[in-house]
């Protein structure tokens, strides 16, 4: 079966999306959520692990926490980058306060930290708040 494998960021079901539908509002066959959203989606540890392992599009994760000032400052920039990268990468947020197992699993030492996954492996990581243009540049090297 042709198409890109994408894990639904809402229900964690694996979907196959024809490449020509990436930008055309592809939806999860199970729950109907957008598979290629134009904004960051909050995920839990299990969904993150499955998407990082499975996705055929680069996955950019913002490890953050509500108490972290720089994280909150970067949030709108991360949102802009998600819109700019729609169809080329998916951007997700992992709250390390709610999901502390993920913070240790991925050896997150400071937040915010961006980690880029592609082809089932970590390809890049960078710590510190960044503007949208820099987030997009980071995502461009994740392949
Ligand atoms: Zn779904």
Tokens 């909050």 — which residue? 42
10 CA to middle of ligand 1, Å?
A: 5
Q: How many CB atoms lie within 10 A of CB 31?
A: 11
Contacts of 26 (CB under 8 A, 6+ apart): 6, 15, 17, 18, 34, 35, 36
Eight-state DSSP code of residue 19: G
3-state secondary structure of 59: strand
Domain map (residue ranges) of the chain: 37-140
Among the residues of the chain, which ranges form H helices? 45-54, 69-84, 100-105, 132-140
102-137: pLDDT as tens digits: 999 999 999 999 999 999 999 999 999 999 999 999
What predicted TM-score, i.e. pTM, was given to this entire model?
0.96
31 CA to middle of ligand 1, Å?
A: 4
Instruction: Write the CATH number of the domain with boundaries 37-140.
Output: 3.40.30.10
Residue 8 known to be catalytic: no
59-93: pLDDT as tens digits: 999 999 999 999 999 999 999 999 999 999 999 99
27 CA to middle of ligand 1, Å?
A: 8
3-state secondary structure of 45: helix
Q: Which residues pair with 95 in a beta bridge?
A: 64
Tell me the two tokens of residue 142. Answer: 């994740």
Residue 71 known to be catalytic: yes
Q: What does the pLDDT read at residue 22?
A: 81
35 CA to middle of ligand 1, Å?
A: 8
Tell me the two tokens of residue 103. Answer: 């913070």
Q: Which residues pair with 6 in a beta bridge?
A: 15
42, pLDDT greater than 60: yes
């Amino acid at each position: 079966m042709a198409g890109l494998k994408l894990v639904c960021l809402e229900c964690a079901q694996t979907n196959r999306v024809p490449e020509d539908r990436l930008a055309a509002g592809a939806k999860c066959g199970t729950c109907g959520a957008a598979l290629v959203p134009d904004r960051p989606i909050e995920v839990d540890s299990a969904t993150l692990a499955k998407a990082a392992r499975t996705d055929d599009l680069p996955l950019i994760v913002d490890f953050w926490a509500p108490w972290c000032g720089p994280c909150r400052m970067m949030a709108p920039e991360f949102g802009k980058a998600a819109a700019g990268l729609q169809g080329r990468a998916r951007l997700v947020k992992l709250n390390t306060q709610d999901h502390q197992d993920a913070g240790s699993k991925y050896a997150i030492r400071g937040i915010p930290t961006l980690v880029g996954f592609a082809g089932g492996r970590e390809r890049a990581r960078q710590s510190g708040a960044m503007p949208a243009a820099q987030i997009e540049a980071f995502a461009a090297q994740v392949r």
